[in-house]
A and B are shown apart, each in its own frame.
Chain A
Amino acid sequence: MNTSVTSIKLVLLGEAAVGKSSIVLRFVSNDFAENKEPTIGAAFLTQRVTINEHTVKFEIWDTAGQERFASLAPMYYRNAQAALVVYDVTKPQSFIKARHWVKELHEQASKDIIIALVGNKIDMLQEGGERKVAREEGEKLAEEKGLLFFETSAKTGENVNDVFLGIGEKVPLKKEEEQNNANNERESNSKRVDLNAANNGSSTNNACSC
């Protein structure tokens, strides 16, 4: 009944108006529609997903897409375990920006960060919009850089949940993580200075230093 919960900090990156917030709203409000006010901003939202009897709790950090704030992004993706890099399939420029984000994340974010590349707004293709970023392009980039790849529509909800499920499945489970933590702990303990020993040592030093 009470499965362990793994928390994942997930950060949304992508050019302005590619639909970052909409994706989150679609993902989160699917399950929580009755609890959320319709006007809520999606700046920070959490959502729990159960994957194979394991609960993953996404803590979703939205970022401002404006170019001028791009340099502030590291403050947001610091310690993030996952990132969604979103672009708009009808805007080639947004795909170029997505490439930059992927590069930056690989260089500056946590080493094991799970990145999902998401081409959004595929609903527009059915409504007569012209596709400007081929699916293959996205797939290729994802393959090169080891990313998850999805094409979604936040409007219709298509594929949105799959993005998060995909990330959830790749996340190291709590059990492993705990072990890692335990290891770290042991390491840090062994690195810890033995206070008593230090005291003894320095007291002899002290005796002759003055």
Chain B
Amino acid sequence: MARQLFTPPITNPRFDPNQSIRESYKITASSMHFQQIPHEDQNDNEKNSCDENSTTSEKLENDKSPILTKQEIDDALSEVSNLPPELSKLIDIFIDDLKQPKYVRPLSVLQLSSLFQSFYIKFDKASFQHVSAVNNSGNNYSNGGSSSFLAAKETLSSGLSGIFGRSRSSSANSLMRPRRSSSLFSNESMSNSNNATQMLSPDEIKKQLRINELNNMKIEKYMELCERDVFKKILIVGTSVSSPNKMKTFKPHQLQTFKVGNLFRNSVEFTEYNRLLNEKILCLSKLSIMNKINLIEFLSLNNGIDPEPKFKEIKEILYEFTYHSISPCEKIKALLKLHEIMTYSQEMSNDDYLSLLIYYIITIVPRDIFLNAEFIRLFRYKKKLVETESFALTNLEAALVFVEGLTKSDFSNELQDKLTENEGKFLESSISSRVSLPSKATITHKSNGNSNSNIGDIMTPTIQRPDVTRSSSYDGFRTVFDSSLKNIIGKIRSYTPPHPNTVNGNNLHNNNSNNNLNIPRSSSQLSIELGNRDTMEMSRDGSRSTSSSSRSSASLEHGNREFTGDLTVTASINGADRKEFQKSWKKYKGYKFEDLTICELRDLFEIYQKMMQ
């Protein structure tokens, strides 16, 4: 790759400075040929299927790199239609690993996302290494009979190429990934780095940049293919785990069509939120069809904008987005297309963008659109989810937030009278007041700094767990008491003998406070999760009406049972008893320890004793 860098490998005793100088200053017109050869080699291997290359992201890329012609980019990228075997293998390993029955409890979607993001980072690095390796081996080939000097240079060049290749062109990324931006080409290093760079002529630097650019594009393409292949593979192999401890519970017929909802099955909040939002959108759509509400008027789309001409086109894209695409990158492409169509219209001012988007969502009613949006947020490679992609996704999310927040009071009194009981129920309150989603802040994966250290620890990602306060205060005592109590409850509810290895996992998590990311590796982990959920519910108690709280907690409870599927009840407790029993231990849910009377404490103790039996 770094063919033009004829720089002295100082540490190499066989280095011949004269030759180096000769090489450095000779006309390097042929250099590009060296680079082309490996591409062509690859070409033969990989041209078995074709894939469209003109994607929005790549178009953007073109704008950013004036030193490359469109032709060159097309040439380079048309070769890449499938992943090379060694990269493909990484995906296989990852999927196999996901399917290992190593988790006692099903993974939540946030945990899954975290695993995927680590994998993407690893894959990104591997692609980079692959591209460098291919270039280097190509060079060797073309210089078949070269001296040992070249071999020595080879070592150096791979080192340098490491640095070069890491100066990714998209600057947003370099901000996010400091390591990659510490390139030889950054400001300071250009002027005062070692003599290695000073020996390059501007021409050579330019060429090097072109090659880097092409390589970066290739890597980007690999990343896209990676996302596509990972999810295709999941579609093929399904997501169930071949052991009693299921990772996810899938029915065979679901394997035929990939539904993003499947990934969210273990995160009840998301599925519940999605269900409510589906209902709400459908309800609004019906109201609009029945002319009970005038959407165009309601959304103030009345200043000369007619959403109809593009309706069909938008509908197709939204269907593509929700039903016909699999990988996050396909979905985001659909979204970008939507974004493009909407922003390139002459009559639309930006103030109407959201209104129009909301209009389309309500009239088209794409099913599970919320889960699809979240799917991108969680499973698109974070490094790529920037700029327009991020903007388009944010717009969709904003539109959905607007819809979920719509209540009766947003409409005229006239309408409020006309609503049927059922419709009234859907428009009673905002969804976010009924279901609170796990905080997104906690799922920001640390892709920034420690990417190096992420290599190899793919199954032990930086999953964070709630911080259990340990102090001598009442609160601390209560926490300990609570968690020990819940520990037992957890054991009763879903006791699975912890796998000797999995128990170790308990301490693997980072110590970040207040979030729901805990890989349930053993039953004791349950206590944390239960406690966590409890905190969530208590906080809701504080802010909202008790009725809605208990409703959602009930639904969570229900969902929990429904989705985990591996809950077992100890034989000594029969169904009815269990119900009553649950009721009894639940009745102290919202209580604070300091508010408990002695009687209540005794009661609690009795519950505790019952549990112990």
Interface residues of A (CB under 8 A from B): 1-7, 16-17, 20-21, 35, 37, 39-44, 46, 53-55, 57, 59, 61-66, 68-69, 71-72, 75-76, 174-175, 177-178, 181-182, 184-185, 188-189, 191-193, 195, 198-199, 201-203, 205-206, 209-210
Contact = CB atoms under 8 A, between A and B. Distances in A.
Interface in B164-194: 171-172, 174-175, 178, 181-182, 185-188, 190
B172 A7 contact: yes
- Among B187, B205, B402, B450, residue most surrounded by chain A Cβ atoms (within 10 Å): B187
B354 A41 contact: no
B503 A209 contact: yes
Interface stretch (B91-99, B247-255, B508-516): B508-516
Contacts of B506: 202
B293 interface: no
Given A4-B181, A202-B507, A41 B186 contact: no
B410 to A, nearest CB: 8
Contacts of A62: 350
Given A185-B449, A192-B462, A46 B511 contact: no
B382 to A, nearest CB: 12
A6 B508 contact: no
A175 B402 CA distance: 40
Nearest to A179: B178
B568 interface: no
A206 B388 CA distance: 49
A195 B508 contact: yes
Interface of B: 63, 171-172, 174-175, 178, 181-182, 185-188, 190, 202, 205, 209, 300, 339, 342-346, 348-355, 387-388, 391-392, 394-395, 397-398, 401-402, 405, 446, 448-450, 453, 457, 460, 462, 498, 500, 503-504, 506-511
Contacts, number: 154
Contacts of B450: 185, 188-189, 192
7 contacts: A43-B353, A64-B351, A174-B186, A175-B187, A192-B510, A199-B508, A201-B507
Contacts of A193: 507-511
A16 B351 contact: yes
Contacts of A191: 510-511
List the 3 closest A-B pairs by CB distance, nearest first.
A185-B449, A41-B343, A5-B171
Nearest to A35: B63
A69 B402 contact: yes
Contacts of A54: 187
Contacts of B387: 44, 46, 59
B345 A39 contact: yes
Contacts of B181: 4, 174, 178
Contacts of A20: 350
Contact of A76 (B394, B453, B511): B394
A64 B401 CA distance: 14
A61 B67 CA distance: 27
A72 B354 contact: yes
Contacts of B209: 2
Contacts of A5: 171, 174
- Among B175, B300, B346, B457, residue most surrounded by chain A Cβ atoms (within 10 Å): B175
Given A75-B401, A182-B178, A185-B448, A43 B508 contact: no
A177 B448 CA distance: 13
A206 B521 CA distance: 13
Contacts of A2: 185-186, 190, 205, 209
Given A3-B187, A46-B387, 12 more contacts: A1-B205, A20-B350, A41-B344, A42-B343, A43-B343, A44-B339, A66-B351, A72-B398, A72-B401, A189-B450, A201-B507, A202-B506
A41 B355 contact: no
Contacts of A41: 342-345, 348-350, 353
B188 A37 contact: no
Contact of B350 (A42, A198, A206, A209): A42
A172 B506 CA distance: 41
B457 A195 contact: yes
Contacts of A184: 448-449
B487 to A, nearest CB: 11
A64 B349 CA distance: 9
A65 B354 CA distance: 10
- Among A1, A17, A35, A185, residue most surrounded by chain B Cβ atoms (within 10 Å): A185
A195 B460 contact: yes
A40 B187 CA distance: 34
A189 B453 contact: yes
Contact of B354 (A44, A69, A192, A209): A69
A43 B178 contact: no
A39 B346 CA distance: 5
A80 to B, nearest CB: 11
A192 B391 CA distance: 32
Contacts of A61: 391, 394
